[in-house]
Amino acid sequence: MNVSEVFTMGGKRGKNILLFLAFVGPALLAFSFIVLIPFLSGIYYAFTDWNGVTGNVQWVGLDNFITLFTEDKQFLTSFWITTKYTIVAILLTNFVGFSLALLVTRGLKLRNVFRTAFFLPNLIGGLILGFIWQFIFTKGFVSIGNLTGIDFFNLSWLGDANTAFWGIVIVSVWQGAGYIMIIYIAALQNVPQELIEAARMDGANSWQVLKNITLPLVAPAFTICLFLTISWSFKIFDVNLSLTGGGPFKSTEMLALNIYTEAFVNNRYGLGEAKALIFFIVVATITTIQVMYTKSKEVEA
């Protein structure tokens, strides 16, 4: 290899580095300032007693974490409420989303209209959605109940702990099912129709086709949708804030709202960051286990 070839290779390598920096650099810089640096600083503040306002930051070690598990009963209550909500929301959102996907992939003339209608709630911001449904629960349902006399509509939807919880579930499923539907539609459209036709010729009914052919072939979509719904459900904040505000009497205060209240309302930023760090570890662990488990099922399928 002569000198000119060495310089040529060096020039190509430098050009590739410049191209890489030109395309990836801005995104990496934005990610560092918006996500990475705040995340690392948050870890530091989790071990301090900073109030989020003054410049007085005192290192307290593990005191914040000890406080969470020994004195802060509302944190543990919010953790339980969030866990219960997450389980319900995951099951219902995926069930409704998959059912809608099955419906609109049939030979319906208005299937495109239905797809658009089912997806539209996802385009509405969570805060706006919460306020809209707050009006529906407090005004719309009452009017329907007075006209029809049906007790279901006369329930105190946002004034009772149990019905307020289910109110949040209804709004979240209504918003998220359309997005999940799109992912399932893409998976269902890739299922080979000749397999389904062959199974029907062999006498398989609709349930047998769904169970033995469709579900195994759309397993990758289930992996994605479970990951998304777990992440969404654990991190729910805007709907919780605008619909119930954590009420009545903090009976529907999810973990994200509890962290927000601790850090920015009670001005205990260090304690709020400690909660957020525990929250991150739990969500990261659960989603990692879920992805590994469902991916293994894809291989088996």
Distance between CA atoms of 167 and 89, rounded to whole angstroms? 11
Q: Which among 255, 234, 261, 252 is positioned nearest to 157, based on CA atoms?
A: 252
Q: Is 249 found in the same domain as 156?
A: yes
Structural domain tally of the chain? 2
Q: Is 79 found in the same domain as 158?
A: yes
**Residue 216 corresponds to which amino acid?**
P
Domain extent, residue 120, equals 65-300
> For 149, phi and psi rounded to 5 degrees?
75, 10
Q: Is 166 found in the same domain as 18?
A: no
For the chain, percent of residues with pLDDT exceeding 90? 49
Q: Which of 70-74, 82-86, 118-122 has the highest mean pLDDT?
A: 82-86
pLDDT of residue 21: 83
The answer to whether residues 196 and 208 touch, using CB atoms and an 8 Å cutoff, is no
pLDDT at 47 over 80: yes
Q: Is 186 found in the same domain as 39?
A: no
**Strand locations in 48-152 (E):** none
- The verdict on residue 60 lying in a domain is no
Q: Is 200 found in the same domain as 287?
A: yes
pLDDT average, residue stretch 80-84: 95
Q: Is 156 found in the same domain as 40?
A: no
Residue predicted with more confidence, 45 or 11: 45
Q: How many CB atoms lie within 10 A of CB 45?
A: 22
Q: Is 188 found in the same domain as 87?
A: yes
Average pLDDT of every residue of the chain: 88
- The verdict on residue 190 lying in a domain is yes
pLDDT at 82 over 50: yes
- The verdict on residue 53 lying in a domain is no
- The verdict on residue 223 lying in a domain is yes
Q: Is 273 found in the same domain as 185?
A: yes
Phi-psi region of 125 (alpha: psi -120 to 50; beta: other; left: phi over 0): beta
Q: Please identify which residue in the block is written with the tokens 């729910």.
A: 236
Distance between CA atoms of 97 and 89, rounded to whole angstroms? 11
Q: Is 99 found in the same domain as 37?
A: no
Q: Is 210 found in the same domain as 157?
A: yes
pLDDT of residue 138: 87
- Tokens at 254, concatenated: 């999810």
pTM: predicted TM-score of the whole model, two decimal places? 0.87
> For 59, phi and psi rounded to 5 degrees?
-70, 125
Confidence of residue 301 (pLDDT cuts 50, 70, 90): very low
The answer to whether residues 121 and 179 touch, using CB atoms and an 8 Å cutoff, is no
Confidence of residue 5 (pLDDT cuts 50, 70, 90): very low
- The verdict on residue 54 lying in a domain is no
Dihedral sign, Cα of residue 12, residue 13, residue 16, residue 21 = negative
pLDDT of residue 295: 85
- The verdict on residue 58 lying in a domain is no
- The verdict on residue 191 lying in a domain is yes
Helix (H, G, I), strand (E, B) or coil at 37: helix
> For 48, phi and psi rounded to 5 degrees?
-125, 175
Q: Is 214 found in the same domain as 143?
A: yes
Task: Please give the angle made by the CA atoms of 75, 248 and 68, to the nearest 5 degrees.
Answer: 10
What CATH number should be reported for the domain holding residue 193?
1.10.3720.10
Omega before 192 cis (within 30°)?
no
The partner residues of 48 in beta bridges, in order of sequence, read: 59
Helix (H, G, I), strand (E, B) or coil at 59: strand
